[in-house]
Amino acid sequence: MRDGGVGAAIRAAGSINALARALRINPSAVSRWRRVPAARVLQIERRFGVRREVLRPDLYPDSTWSPS
């Protein structure tokens, strides 16, 4: 089962093939992702505009959140 960050990256790119092509990796590698690899987060953010907090919320907590 993929997490939401992988789905967001694929949607932003248009397809698994387009995402893989942009990252210069094999589409089958993207197909195996359960979550976006940490090493790819910033690259995807720069290329497709998907915020790092969406791609990997476990690594990048939402910076807009503040305690009340």
- How many domains does one find in the chain? 1
Domain of 16, CATH number, reads: 1.10.260.40
> Percent helix, strand, coil in the chain (nearest 5)?
55, 0, 45
Range of the domain at 39: 4-55
66 lies in a domain?
A: no
Whether 31 is covered by a domain: the verdict is: yes
Sign of CA dihedral 44, 22, 7, 59: negative
14, amino acid identity: G
pLDDT for 68: 56
Please, what are the averages of pLDDT over each run of 10 residues along the chain (68 residues)? 93 98 98 97 98 96 65
**Residue 64 in domain:** no
Please give the pLDDT value at position 1.
79
Domain-located, residue 63: no
The C-alpha atoms of residue 1 and residue 34 are separated, in whole angstroms, by: 6
Residue 27 lies in a domain: yes
In a domain, 23, yes or no: yes
* Whole-prediction pTM: 0.87
What is the residue type of 22? A
